């Protein structure tokens, strides 16, 4: 990310200012949680993608800054509500909003944060704001749909690989795609380039989520600092699960579903049994192949974008670095 | 409302169509609750106000219809989430969304419904959409702030009349005000008229809420079909409570607060004791006077609006009918 360090600094500084403003706004119980969740940090990949796409067309970062912040604010709205939905107590080693305050405050400050994102679009001075609204609204609804599908998956016994890809496309890849598209809109890129940026981001986002699912179990070293097999232990339905479900024979399938619904199985036994099944079915390789396919589609789209080879190369390197780590 | 029957029919028909579309959209668990809450009915006052304001300038209702629907969809988003916040099991004699489905679905379909309101703005073809977004975003944030203040009031022992008016202005009056303003924007009314429409709606909205609070205890007949004193029995802090708190001596104040926090007091005793206190302090008359003041401010603003005396008279009669019944 070195080449984009300047953008990261601008974003970090603006978010710090925003946190201060939010902590001072009334009613405190509605605004302080917004400041708090932003303060928990993160790599700010999404606003960075807005500024990067804007930069492909040699535009000043300040022009797209409000839109970049709106994207980060939206992302944090979704985190507040998702933590309520998932009943998650911790995020980035700190209490989640509903744990620190309560569910009601988390619901309402989440609503407010979603509206704050729109307020930031409203406050921006770019000349094609209607296109921004249009893309942003479309993205926001898709992200909610993805979250609903993810919730629906919890009680489904049959999930195809296509179902799974559709869910992560909506829940995760759409916001990556839209961030790049919004940067393109800010820079007055052609409609074709806006669509290519979206396509690039969408497939990079899908590849990212597949790799992230795969690394949960198959990380070579514990570089991510994550517990190995956490998704399995939490019964999270991943690309590995979807492949296993679809490649396994009836008896294995039954065992997998039984382990995913059982509360009595010992963790080590569960993890080992499922890992063995995944290994026998070679689902890791399937996942890697699928991620590669999506990465290739993304890079093909990028080649068609009307910008210099140098800028494209920077974006390719950035995307490659993203796929190997958490967003 | 007779003179506006045509507008009511257009709105009812459009909402019925919208319900059908929502019931068919996927994921069902996200969209069906939106169809369901709209189907519970209501007087559709807010979208009607959009069309009425638009009509002041002799504009066709179809022009403002999408914006009118967006307002109703927004209002229903707030009902879904408020019912979760208030833990309300019933609405219009039917189960609330979180009771019929569950809390997670209510949170997420509420989020989606808020975004659907924006999608309807996005889909409208009016030429000053940026002004619509701007007014709508400002209103939405204020409504959330009002809801937060109302929640904050639950644990506060000191609420001034001004605090209370500020809360209901944000929570209730802002959406009435904005509905009229949006109709004005749709009709290309002057900025001054847009502001006057907002002012009219705001003060009518405040008067409405004060009268509604007052009628909870002092309705002459049970025309509303509501239980008398429901607010008191539910410890809801109303304009009567705010006046009583600020007009009472220390010992009465302590009694009032004690009754509002006690779970052991018999309902009849509680209702009688508080009603006696309110009667002794003459809070009903204070509330009526305050509502009259706000109604007067509203009608003064209306007089300055650049439309015919006939249209003004229709709006005055409509507003008067509203103040005496539930929105």
pLDDT tens-place string over residues A12-24: 999 999 999 999 9
Coil/strand/helix, residue A94:
strand
Output the pLDDT for position B71: 98
Is B137 touching A (CB cutoff 8 A)? yes
Ranges A220-234, A303-317, B109-123: which has the least confidence: A220-234
Tell me: the pLDDT tens digits for A211-235?
999 999 998 765 555 678 999 998 9
* Residue range A234-241: mean pLDDT, rounded: 94
Q: Please state, for a pLDDT cut of 90, what percent of chain A lies above it.
A: 90
Q: Is A163 on the interface with B (CB under 8 A)?
A: no
Looking at residue B3, what is its pLDDT?
Answer: 72
A 258-317 → B contacts, CB under 8 A: none
Q: Give the Å distances, CA to CA, from A3 to A7, A12, A48.
A: 9, 16, 12
Contacts for A165 with CB less than 8 Å, ≥ 6 apart: A206, A239, A290
Q: Do B30 and A145 touch (CB under 8 A)?
A: yes
Model confidence band, residue B68 (pLDDT cutoffs 50, 70, 90): very high
Flag whether pLDDT at B289 surpasses 90: yes
Average pLDDT score over residue span B261-290? 93
Q: Nearest C-alpha of chain A: how many angstroms from B88?
A: 13
| Predicted confidence band of residue B327 (pLDDT cuts 50, 70, 90) | very low
For residue A104, list chain B residues with Cβ-Cβ distance below 8 A.
84-85, 151
Q: Check residue A264 and give its pLDDT.
A: 80
- CB neighbourhood size of A61 (10 A): 22
Q: Which residue of A lies nearest to B84 if distances are taken between CA atoms?
A: A104
**Residue A90, pLDDT score:** 96
Which of A75, A101, A109, A115 would best serve as a mutation to test chain B binding (most B beta carbons within 10 A)? A115
pLDDT bin (cut points 50, 70, 90) of residue A325 is: low
Q: What is the structure's pLDDT at A226? A: 64
Across B253-261, average pLDDT: 93
Identify the band that residue A327 occupies on the pLDDT scale cut at 50, 70 and 90.
very low
pLDDT of residue A64: 97
Q: Which of the pair, A205 or A221, is modelled with greater confidence?
A: A205
Instruction: Provide the shortest C-alpha distance from residue B132 to chain A (in Å).
Output: 11
With 0-12 CB in 10 A as exposed, 13-18 as middle and 19+ as buried, what is B249?
exposed
> Which chain B positions have a beta carbon within 8 Å of A149's beta carbon?
27
B81 to chain A, any CB pair closer than 8 A? The answer is: yes
What does the pLDDT read at residue A3? 73
Interface test with A, best of B141, B143, B171 (most A CBs within 10 A): B141
Q: How does strand A94-95 pair with strand A90-91? A: antiparallel
Per-residue pLDDT, averaged over A62-88, amounts to 97
Q: B112 and A141: CB-CB below 8 Å?
A: yes
Which of the four pLDDT bands, split at 50, 70 and 90, describes residue B326?
A: very low
DSSP per-residue string spanning B128-191: THHHHHHHHHHHHHHHHHHHHHHHHHTT-S---HHHHHHHHIIIIIHHHHHHHHHHHHHTT--H
Per CB-CB distance under 8 Å, the chain B contacts of A133 are 118, 121-122, 133
CA distance linking residue B91 with residue A221, whole number of Å: 54
Q: Does residue B224 have a pLDDT over 60?
A: no
3-state secondary structure B236-290: CCCHHHHHHHHHCCHHHHHHHHHHHHCCCCCHHHHHHHHHHHHHHHCHHHHHHHH
Q: Is B325's pLDDT higher than 70?
A: no
Is residue A95 predicted with pLDDT exceeding 70? yes
């Amino acid at each position: 990310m070195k080449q984009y360090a300047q953008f990261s600094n601008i974003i970090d500084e603006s978010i710090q200012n925003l946190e201060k403003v939010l902590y001072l706004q009334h009613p405190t119980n509605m605004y302080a949680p917004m400041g708090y969740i932003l303060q928990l940090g993160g790599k700010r990949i999404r606003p960075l993608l807005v500024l990067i796409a804007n930069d492909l067309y040699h535009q000043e970062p300040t022009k797209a800054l409000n839109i970049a912040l709106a994207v980060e604010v939206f992302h944090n709205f979704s985190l507040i509500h998702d933590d309520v939905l998932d009943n998650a107590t911790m995020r980035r080693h700190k209490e989640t909003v509903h744990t620190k305050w309560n569910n009601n405050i988390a619901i309402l400050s989440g609503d407010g944060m979603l509206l704050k994102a729109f307020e930031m679009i409203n406050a921006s001075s770019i000349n094609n704001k209607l296109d921004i609204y249009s893309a942003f609204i479309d993205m926001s609804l898709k992200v909610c749909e993805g979250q609903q599908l993810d919730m629906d998956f919890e009680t489904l016994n049959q999930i195809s690989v296509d179902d799974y890809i559709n869910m992560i496309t909506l829940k995760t890849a759409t916001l990556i795609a839209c961030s790049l598209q919004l940067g393109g809109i800010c820079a007055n890129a052609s409609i074709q380039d806006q669509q290519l940026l979206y396509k690039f981001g969408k497939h990079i986002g899908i590849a990212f989520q597949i790799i992230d699912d795969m690394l949960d179990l198959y990380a070579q070293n514990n570089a991510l600092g994550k517990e190995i097999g956490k998704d399995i232990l939490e019964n999270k339905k991943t690309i590995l699960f979807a492949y296993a479900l679809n490649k396994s024979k009836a008896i294995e399938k039954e065992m997998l579903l039984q382990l995913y619904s059982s509360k009595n199985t010992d963790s080590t036994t569960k993890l080992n049994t499922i890992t063995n099944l995944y290994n026998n079915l070679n689902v890791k390789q399937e996942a890697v192949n699928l991620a590669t396919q999506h990465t290739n589609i993304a890079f093909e789209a990028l080649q068609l974008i009307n910008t210099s080879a140098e800028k494209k190369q920077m974006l390719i390197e950035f995307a490659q670095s993203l796929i190997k780590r958490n967003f």
